[in-house]
Amino acid sequence: MNGWRRIRAVCSTLWDKREVENDLDAEISAFGEMLADEKMAKGMTDKEARRSTLAELGGLEQLKQAVRDERAGNGVEQLWQDVRFGVRQLRRSPGFAVTGLLIIAIGLGLTTTMYSIVYAVILKPLPFAHPERLVAVEAKPWKPFSLPTIADWMKGSRAFESMSAYTGWSPRIESPAGVGHVNAVLVSQNFLSELGLPLRLGHDFTQSGNEKDCFGQAIVTERYWRRMGGGDALARRTVQLDYQTYTVIGVVASRAPLEDMDGLDQPSILTPIGCDPAKHPDRRGDGSFQVIARLRPGVSMGNALEELAVAQKNLARTYPREYPAEFAPVLIPLNDFISGTENRSALLATLTACGMLLLISCANLTNLLLARDMRRRSEFALRTMLGAGPLRIFRQVLTENATLVALGSILGIMLASVLVRLASRSKLMNLPRLNEASVDLRVVMFAVALSSVIVILLTILPALRGRRTELTEDLRSGSSSSSSAPRGLRRAGHLLVAAQVAMAFVLVAVSGWMVSSVYILLHQPLGFDPDHLLFASTDLRGPERSASIDPAVTVAKLRKILSDVSRIPGVVEVAAANDKPLGGRVNQYGFCSDLHPEDCQRANPNAPDVFAVTPRYFDTVSQMLFRGRAFNDADDGKDHVAIVNRALAQQQWPGENPVGHRIFSGGLNGWAMVVGEVGDVRSYSLERAPIPNLYLPEADGRPDTSMTIMLRTVGDPSELDETVRRILREDAGITVRYVESMPELMAHAVAIRRFFMWVVAAFGGLALGLATLGTYALLTYEVSVREREIGIRLALGSQRRAILALLIGQEARWIAPGLAAGLIGAVLAGYLLRAEFYHASAASASVLGTTFGLLTVSALAAVAIPGRRASLLDPSETLRRD
């Protein structure tokens, strides 16, 4: 039969159904009449002939059904019948329908939302040419590289097609879009061509190597271009960055949204390295660049890394003073680098949590379906009696479930599209490329695949049970509601409850760890007092940004600012440092102490981070002074003095008093006397433990021009924000980068973690609720079918307490293994997600214990309430009911 004819046949079966049926009717009755005619012609009476004909036809309905079964559209028609029956079935029990639809819609909606986010942030290929060949180069123990290092790597290996360098800066910008600060990135001239970034307008930086060819040039992103007024003409469009004029020579197309890429410093503007005389990128020790490399086609990342390691070994041999022996480069796929390893595991963990929640929902729904199937046993038995084969019944159940899931999935996809839109617009989650998330065809396909899995999961258990149908028993039980439920069903129900308990255990434990991580992060001792602390990041060089500013001028400017802001009412202490605590800026110089002067002869991987601070700094941030003294105004460089933190003191002079010892620092280019020992602070981030720090007076040597003003206030520091800005702006000699309070910074630092904490905690709560509800529902059902048995027990003199104990004991046999499996799963999940948890090991046991208690109590409550109800049954009533 050819395809076209088949389709036409199917259509005529479905569309001209009435006509086809009438035709069949007429044909068969004509056949009967002719058969009767024939019989009468042979001498039968009218009556005899009719009876004999009917016998020969063997039932008109069966005959017609046999013809229908042969028709091409038969399958489709039956499917349609089953769908309609499914919908009717749902409408007949609206409570079940609403519950089922909601369970599926929420479970599927959340999972689909999460998938869409995970896809946009992690899985979606970067909008660059051949993104699979792009890698980010990192290194241990530190990352930023110098341009000579990068050039030598390129020379020393053949695995790379190109390498490009970049580093972020945040200049003051003046453009048609207004005045303010902007994220910019300095890039090597091959940066755009290496990534294969599409330009909407203009051209790439010229790679002639001649400085004049790229001097004062900038490429902006399309988003910023639109803010500047947009248009298709580049002529005479300029921007001012830190009071220098740059000509816009190109616009990056918006399908490569650089602004959303945290790993690339979210730039709106790109300017070339090596064209700005204020920067001196030729020194081998000036490691301030990050590297992106493109592998040659066919070169694996492993091979590339081997070659790079060899090149670095050779470099370390040639320049032993520049590279420590253990310095080793690392390659990361650019996609992973941009999505961020931390975000990656957090997102995947959340997606897994969604999946588990969905599984719990499915288990709950299966239990509901099983209970409903119990009530429908007589219906199925009747269908079997009327000739429906097991396959036909299976198909009916499958279609019913598919109808339910399909309706729920449509709701779920609608929910997901709302949630994804909310998530991609929210500033709450600062995830790279999040705003590219949308419910597109791929996501819908995911949802469809997922709902097919749900249908199969929902159908398997009831179908397995359905096959064991014992007709007579089921038919009989249709009339009396209180017969005992079959063992198979009860076992399946208990198994599902145990599985729910186990999964809920894992989710609750994980959310417990998340909550305790955030709590510990925000409440751990930091080494300083973050409350009532305001800071302002400034550039003392001012508008000219001249590199060679007189040290005396810098110090005088700083003194003036400090005395100005100290007069603000509500400010108790002021000081300045070249970076705030939790700031993450690194200044490292060659270092050695009087005990190990040989350390100065090589690159010292243990060199401390160096901070330049003003007098009263330790008082302002409330950092503990253990020994010696703090800096004062007399420490102006006549005698070099230094203060060490406890970690550095332990490292250099274990067990000794550091005061009186001497250290050498490349920052001073000389030896200094240690005059004090202070406590350790978290200088990088909340997560990172304190490391050795060296403090030098700002007034000594060449003062740092990039200084953070710290203010200790009486009241809420953010209230002084505007005042501080105004006073600093009055001073034309400096530029202000940003003003922020320390609590704000900390809240920002834990924002993503806090967001995931809320998500996982919500999931944990939902899972706990669902599992409890599932247990409760199952036991309520169980009690309802065992009323008679309980009645007999009571009538025979069983104590009510014994009934309760019996029920709890029976449930515990299932719940206990569930809890045990959950415990194992939670420990496993804790191990897999250990990077997400902060100090999880410390809180681990207590979280597991709490989770165990929480689940046990809620499971017991879920069992005890129906159990108590059962024990209060009046036997004289339950026994008489049948």
Q: Does 62 bind other proteins (CB under 8 A)?
A: yes
Residue among 1 and 796 whose Cβ is closer to other proteins: 1
Q: Counting contacts by CB under 8 A, is residue 1 touching other proteins?
A: yes
Q: What is the DSSP letter of 665?
A: E
Q: Does 37 bind other proteins (CB under 8 A)?
A: yes
Alpha carbon 583 to chain centroid, angstroms? 25
Determine the interface stretch with other proteins among 53-61, 131-139, 669-677, 843-851 (rule: CB under 8 A). Answer: 53-61
Give the C-alpha distances (Å, rounded to integers) separating 248 from 154, 218, 268, 272: 30, 5, 12, 12
Q: Which of 7, 11, 34, 460 binds other proteins (CB under 8 A)?
A: 34
Q: Shortest distance, CB of residue 14 to other proteins, whole angstroms?
A: 13
* Measured distance CA(292)–CA(154) in Å, rounded: 12
Of the candidate residues 16, 21, 23, 46, the single one contacting other proteins (CB under 8 A)? 23
- Our finding on whether 14 is near other proteins (CB under 8 A) is no
Helix or strand run (H / E) with residue 647:
helix 646-652
Compute CA distances 106 → 165, 310, 351, 816, whole Å: 46, 54, 14, 29
Instruction: Concatenate the DSSP letters of all residues of 156-193 into one string.
Output: H-SSEEEEEEEEEE--EEEETTEEEE--EEEE-TTHHH
Tell me the C-alpha distance between 480 and 125, whole Å: 61
CA distance 621 to 709: 11
Of positions 21, 69, 633, 719, contacts other proteins by CB under 8 A: 69
CB of 88 to other proteins, least distance (A): 30
Q: Any contact of residue 7 with other proteins (CB under 8 A)?
A: no
Q: What is the residue whose two structure tokens read 């009719």? A: 50
What is the C-alpha to C-alpha distance for residues 189 and 293, in angstroms, rounded to an integer? Answer: 13
Q: Toward other proteins, which CB reaches closer, 2 or 841?
A: 2
Is 21 one of the binding residues for other proteins (CB under 8 A)? no
Indicate the residue type of 782.
E
Closest CB to other proteins among 14 and 67?
67
Q: Which stretch binds other proteins (CB under 8 A): 19-27, 116-124, 535-543, 622-630?
A: 19-27
In angstroms, the CA 758 to CA 242 distance is 41
Residue 337 near residue 121, CB atoms below 8 Å: no
Tell whether residue 57 is a contact of other proteins (CB under 8 A): yes
Cβ atoms within 10 A of the Cβ of 8, count?
12
Q: Are strands 290-295 and 184-187 parallel, antiparallel or unpaired?
A: unpaired
Instruction: Give the type of residue at 325.
Output: A
| Per-residue DSSP letter, 840 | H
Interface residue with other proteins among 44, 67, 359, 792 (CB under 8 A) is: 67
Give the other-Cβ count within 10 Å of 647's Cβ: 17
Q: Return the residue of 26, 310, 414, 449 that touches other proteins, per CB under 8 A.
A: 26
Report the residue number, 56 or 473, with the smaller CB distance to other proteins: 56
Rounded Cα distance, 343 and 433, in Å: 12
Q: Which stretch binds other proteins (CB under 8 A): 26-34, 465-473, 672-680, 692-700?
A: 26-34
* Binding residue (CB under 8 A) for other proteins from 16, 56, 550, 719: 56
Amino acid, res. 80: W
Q: Is 656 in the site for other proteins (CB under 8 A)?
A: no
Over the window 429 to 468, marking each residue x when it contacts other proteins by CB under 8 A and - when it does not, the resulting string is ----------------------------------------
Minimum CB separation from other proteins for residue 29, in Å? Answer: 10
**Tokens 């953010």 belong to which residue?**
718
Residue 38 makes contact with other proteins by CB under 8 A = yes
Widest Cα–Cα separation across the chain: 142
Nearest distance, CB of residue 78 and other proteins, angstroms: 16
Dihedral sign computed on CA atoms, order 582, 587, 592, 594: negative
Q: Does 30 sit near other proteins (CB under 8 A)?
A: yes
Interface residue with other proteins, options 14, 44, 54, 63 (CB under 8 A)? 63
Pick the stretch among 60-68, 342-350, 500-508, 567-575 that binds other proteins (CB under 8 A): 60-68
Q: Which of 63-71, 156-164, 406-414, 577-585 is the region at the interface with other proteins (rule: CB under 8 A)?
A: 63-71
The footprint of other proteins on this chain (CB under 8 A) covers a number of residues equal to 28
Cβ contacts of 194 within 8 Å, gap of 6 or more: 134, 161, 162, 163, 164, 292, 293, 294
Check binding of 25 to other proteins (CB under 8 A).
no
9 binds other proteins (CB under 8 A): yes
Q: How far is the CB of 7 from other proteins (least distance, A)?
A: 11
Binding site for other proteins (CB under 8 A): 1-2, 5-6, 9, 23-24, 26-28, 30-31, 33-35, 37-38, 56-58, 62-63, 66-67, 69-72
